[in-house]
Structure 1
Amino acid sequence: MTALPERFVERMKRTMEEEEAASFFASYDENAAHGLRLNPGKISRDGFTDRMPFSLTPVPWCPPGFYYNEEDRPGKHPYHAAGVYYIQEPSAMAVIEALKPEPGDRVLDLCAAPGGKSTHIAGYLGDRGLLVANEIHPTRVKALSENLERWGARNILVTNETPDRMAERFPAFFDKIVVDAPCSGEGMFRKLPEACEDWSEEKVAHCASMQTDILADAAKMLKPGGVMVYSTCTFAEDENERQIERFLAAHPEFSLDPVAQQEYFTPGKLEHTVRLWPHKLRGEGHFLARLRKSGDTEALETVQEEKVKPLSADVRRVFEAFCREALTFTPEGRYALFGDQLYLLADGLPRLNRLKISRAGWHLGTVKKGRFEPSHAMALALKPEEWKSGVDFSADSEEVLRYLRGETLFWDAAGKGWTIVTVDGFPLGWGKLVQGQLKNHYPKGLRML
């Protein structure tokens, strides 16, 4: 059994009936559930269950979610590198199902790293709307960007800002917001035993204070009529029901909506909030509240759209030459050059000046010395009908492993130049055919050892 903090045990015994407390603590003798979520931009649900070489069981509250067996090790499979699925704790999948993003929405994931909620949102948006994924910690924002790129998300803005700075720049801007708040992590004690060592009553109080500030900033960014989901992975009432009570008292323009698929969850101590308990379902501890903002939609403040300079003739020439060589189309929209990095901006993107930006849309590639080099993000976001030349390997082949290790491959085939490397039809990255060799352009930082 996980060695639980003594004061945590005492508190839980005080707040639970004896029989339920016994079931709750007994759940720590069980193994944590393992989950993954398919990428609807790359594969259908039926295609996923037919093709995946894993033992999959549906997660009942998340249509794209599945349990898998620990011995399957999906993180080592080439399909993971291709962004066909995202590995995510099953209870955490409930958050975006409660938010219900729709194509065309402007959505903010305010505390976004490592990217589970953001990729889930991107899956529902498709290529319509805008996802702004923010992470305050510079080291964690890199992982967030990489996960969104592997997912193939195009219409994104990844920022590295504090919530109050975001609130200054995005007043009443978003249709939907998710605040998966930093918390004391009590719900993860079984999955992450190290969280037990980091826990203290002082940490609970500190997190509750921080959550209050984050929620207040998030409230400013939501449009009237918009929806915000607040979630934590803790059992502490001060971070959950009491936090929402304080928020509603300070923000009378908000009210609680019922959470979708409540039949799978336990009602919280505040009406319309829900708890996910590890002894009542296959997943870890979570809390969810869905909040709706009332108000006058006529009084919305206009956020100025990002203005970009037209690309120079030289940049446009080399990029369009690449598109003619490697793609069946030229991406349409507003281009922006940040240094030597070329991006296609999402529609409706606001002004970006004085914001710390990690990704400003779909990263297309690098322009240097009169040539264009496509990015890994471009490859992972392409659809099968969008590339001209492809080299396909099967998932169980030695060639695909060699490609993921960064090796040059011999390829006895006609053609030359940039080509997409795929695994069973799913894009993995770029290669360049040169005189019977496939030069490897898989990013060095992602290569298998």
Structure 2
Amino acid sequence: MRLPETYARRMQELLGDECEAYMESFEREYSQGLRVNTRKISPEAFLGLWGDPLESVPWCPAGFYLSPGGKPPSKHPFYFAGAYYLQEPSAMAPAAILPVEPGDRVLDLCAAPGGKSTHLAARLEGRGVLVSNDVSASRAKALLKNLELFGTENAVVTSEAPYKLASRFAGYFSKILVDAPCSGEGMFHKDPSIVKNWEQYGNEYYAKIQEEILDSAAAMLAPGGMLLYSTCTFSPLEDEQTVQNFLQRHREYQLVEIPKCGGMADGRPEWIPEGDSALRRCARFWPHRLRGEGHFAALFQKEGTALPWRDKAESAGRKRELEPFYRFVEDTLAVEAASLPGAHQMPQLLGERLYWMPVEMEALAGLRILRNGLYAGDVKGGRFEPSQAFALALKKEQVRKLAVFDTEDPMVIRYLKGETLPSQFAPGWNLVCAGPFGLGWGKASGSLLKNKYLRGWRYQ
């Protein structure tokens, strides 16, 4: 491929004898990966179901390299069930490195289209809260879909400028991920059109944006919290220099060593003026050293003692206005309402829509919110109509009325295309499943299963 002369010259200066190997990496096949949704299945169990052999990604326990010529992963029913996310392997690293634990308050500040947010959500295991933000409203819609596809029940999806979030969430989060906008040098192989963007804007343009975003993130991190900064570029100006500038502006932060594996390399302090040796604690992902297109990561910790986070417990009392929902639970599900995904959060009716919310609505007033928690469904006319998001959040064993098809059954694709199916299932709402995974709802009536799969998600 054609690389800008100034870029090729800079890489020669930086890499020296390694530059030839880097340039040759553009000739190999692009690395593609799949990350298993551990909220739905373990990596080991997934491998047994998938059939085709998959090689593990060293820095991500749930990640695998896709084999050339295998099953088309974006057309497989498991993809529509949210059993995995398709992601470039080195891009799996940031959410794997940030030490998220169930119960944390986590912010993904530049989150669309959702690869890292879905990873963080799986690691939270439904506890604590995940705020996933993207300043672009259109990209935030894709982010919301991917989080719902993954069955996430404790996410708040926002579309705001970082400084505006900082004015509302000062010192709130225990973990923050900033996968910052960048010049995208690690994406040249995947999408050569990014070269034109690089030529138009250059590294300085993005370095300024990165510093502004990091300052907003710093204001939102709690004492003792951790912040992961990452880019998909090789530019020292956007990587080591941005990290060093941040540390000079925020003396209460220090770099934490990122353990290296699978060909990961240290940061390079010698590539910037007066580079601090601590920058070696960062991690670089080079496409000629590992199977991945390229990434950079730096892990910071803020001084102070982290305070434990506890979920808000709601009264288990039965709420009169939710009687249609409780009847649905008794008729269709195999567990009590208190055991359902998101049920430990705050139930609230907004008009006809029922949500379980991890954050009080008052705390979000004035922000552009796409979703606060799990949208369970609609309460109207004395009945409850469950949502697509609720279907994906449920596990098969939590549902009593099931319409189960073998993964290879043509009925699965017919369902995903929105077709009405023949029915021998119990009357009423049924969770339609492909093997062990729920796909969405169908409503059995007589000899037909009426298709309730969300129109905008249908198989194309």
TM-score interval, normalised by the smaller of the two chains: over 0.9
CA distance in 1, matches of 2:126, 2:314: 21
TM-score by length of 2: 0.91
1:261 offset after TM fit, Å?
A: 3.6
8 Å CA contact 1:134–1:158 kept in 2: the answer is yes
- Counting aligned pairs with the same residue, the percent is 43
Q: Which amino acid aligns with 2:240?
A: E
Give the structure 1 partner of residue 302 of structure 2. Answer: 293
TM-score by length of 1: 0.94
Give the structure 1 partner of residue 336 of structure 2. Answer: 329
Give the structure 2 partner of residue 250 of structure 1. Answer: 249
Residue-by-residue CA offset, 1:286-306 (whole Å, 9 max, x unaligned): 1000000003668x9x9xx99
CA distance in 2, matches of 1:339, 1:112: 28
3-state SS in 2 of match to 1:420: strand
Residue-by-residue CA offset, 1:130-161 (whole Å, 9 max, x unaligned): 11111110000111011011111111111111
3-state SS in 2 of match to 1:58: strand
Segments of structure 1 that go 5 or more residues without pairing to the other structure are none
CA distance in 1, matches of 2:123, 2:421: 37
Give the structure 1 partner of residue 87 of structure 2. Answer: 88
Give the structure 1 partner of residue 10 of structure 2. Answer: 11
1:393 to 390, 400, 405: 405
Give the structure 1 partner of residue 281 of structure 2. Answer: 272
Q: Kindly report which structure 2 residues correspond to 1:148-187, keeping only aligned pairs within 5 A, or say none.
A: 148-187=147-186
8 Å CA contact 2:174–2:306 kept in 1: the answer is no
1:238 offset after TM fit, Å?
A: 0.8
2:442 to 428, 431, 444: 431
Q: In the superposition, relative to structure 1, how do residues 385 and 358 fare at CA in structure 2: closer, same or farther (>3 Å)? A: same
Q: In the superposition, relative to structure 1, how do residues 108 and 9 fare at CA in structure 2: closer, same or farther (>3 Å)? A: same
Q: Which amino acid aligns with 1:134?
A: N
8 Å CA contact 1:130–1:348 kept in 2: the answer is no
| Segment of structure 1 superposing worse, 353-362 or 46-55 | 46-55
Q: Which amino acid aligns with 2:439?
A: L
Q: Which amino acid aligns with 1:80?
A: Y
CA distance in 2, matches of 1:147, 1:297: 30
Q: Does 2:27 align with 1:43?
A: no
CA distance in 1, matches of 2:260, 2:386: 42
Q: Which amino acid aligns with 1:408?
A: T
Q: Which amino acid aligns with 1:441?
A: K
3-state SS in 1 of match to 2:281: coil
1:317 offset after TM fit, Å?
A: 1.7
CA distance in 1, matches of 2:165, 2:236: 27
1:419 to 412, 424, 430: 430
Q: In the superposition, relative to structure 1, how do residues 291 and 262 fare at CA in structure 2: closer, same or farther (>3 Å)? A: farther
1:338 offset after TM fit, Å?
A: 2.5
8 Å CA contact 1:329–1:386 kept in 2: the answer is no
Q: In the superposition, relative to structure 1, how do residues 349 and 249 fare at CA in structure 2: closer, same or farther (>3 Å)? A: farther
Q: Which amino acid aligns with 1:419?
A: N
3-state SS in 2 of match to 1:16: helix
1:246 offset after TM fit, Å?
A: 0.4
2:422 to 410, 420, 444: 410
Q: Which amino acid aligns with 1:124?
A: R
1:45 offset after TM fit, Å?
A: 2.0
CA distance in 1, matches of 2:186, 2:102: 32
Give the structure 2 partner of residue 124 of structure 1. Answer: 123
Say what the alpha-carbon RMSD is for the aligned residues: 2.3
Q: Which amino acid aligns with 1:293?
A: K
8 Å CA contact 1:12–1:21 kept in 2: the answer is yes
Q: In the superposition, relative to structure 1, how do residues 193 and 46 fare at CA in structure 2: closer, same or farther (>3 Å)? A: same
3-state SS in 2 of match to 1:373: strand
1:194 offset after TM fit, Å?
A: 1.4
CA distance in 1, matches of 2:429, 2:59: 42
1:201 offset after TM fit, Å?
A: 6.6
8 Å CA contact 1:229–1:289 kept in 2: the answer is yes
